[in-house]
C-alpha cells in the first residue's frame, strides 16, 4: 500500500493545518502542535491508538507520545478527561 502524502492524509481526515502567513501558532489549538491537535481530534471521534496511527501514517508509539504531550499541556491523565476538555474551555499549563 503506497504511503499518502501528509497533505493527502490531512484531506482524508478533514484536518485543517493552514496558518496565516507569519503565524507560529493557532489560538484555536490552545497551545497544541498541529499533530497533537489532530490526535486529540481523532480521540474525540472515538478512534483507538491503533486506528489513529493508521489514519495518520505514524506508529502507535508516536500516537502515545502525542497523547502524553496533550495530557501534560491540558493537565489531564485520560482520554475521557481529554474529550471533556475539548468540549469546555481550558488553557495549557
**Vertex 16 angle, CA 1 and 24, to 5°:** 115
CA distance 93 to 79: 18
Q: Which one has a higher pLDDT value, 29 or 92?
A: 29
Q: What is the pLDDT of residue 15?
A: 44
- Predicted TM-score of the model (pTM): 0.65
CA distance 50 to 42: 11
In the chain, where the domains are located: 30-88
87: helix, strand or coil: coil
Tell me the CATH number of domain 30-88, given options 1.10.357.20, 1.10.10.370, 1.20.140.10, 1.10.10.10.
1.10.10.10
Question: Which tens digit of pLDDT belongs to each residue from 14-66?
Answer: 544 444 444 444 545 678 999 999 999 999 999 999 999 999 999 999 999 99
- What is the band of 89 on the pLDDT scale with cuts at 50, 70, 90? low
Q: What is the pLDDT of residue 37?
A: 92
Amino acid at each position: 500500500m503506497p504511503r499518502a502524502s501528509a497533505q493527502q492524509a490531512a484531506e482524508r481526515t478533514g484536518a485543517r493545518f493552514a496558518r496565516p502567513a507569519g503565524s507560529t501558532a493557532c489560538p484555536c489549538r490552545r497551545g497544541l502542535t498541529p499533530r497533537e491537535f489532530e490526535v486529540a481530534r481523532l480521540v474525540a471521534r472515538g478512534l483507538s491508538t491503533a486506528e489513529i496511527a493508521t489514519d495518520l501514517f505514524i506508529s502507535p508509539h508516536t500516537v502515545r507520545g502525542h497523547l502524553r504531550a496533550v495530557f501534560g499541556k491540558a493537565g489531564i491523565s485520560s482520554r475521557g478527561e481529554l474529550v471533556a476538555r475539548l468540549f469546555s474551555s481550558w488553557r495549557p499549563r
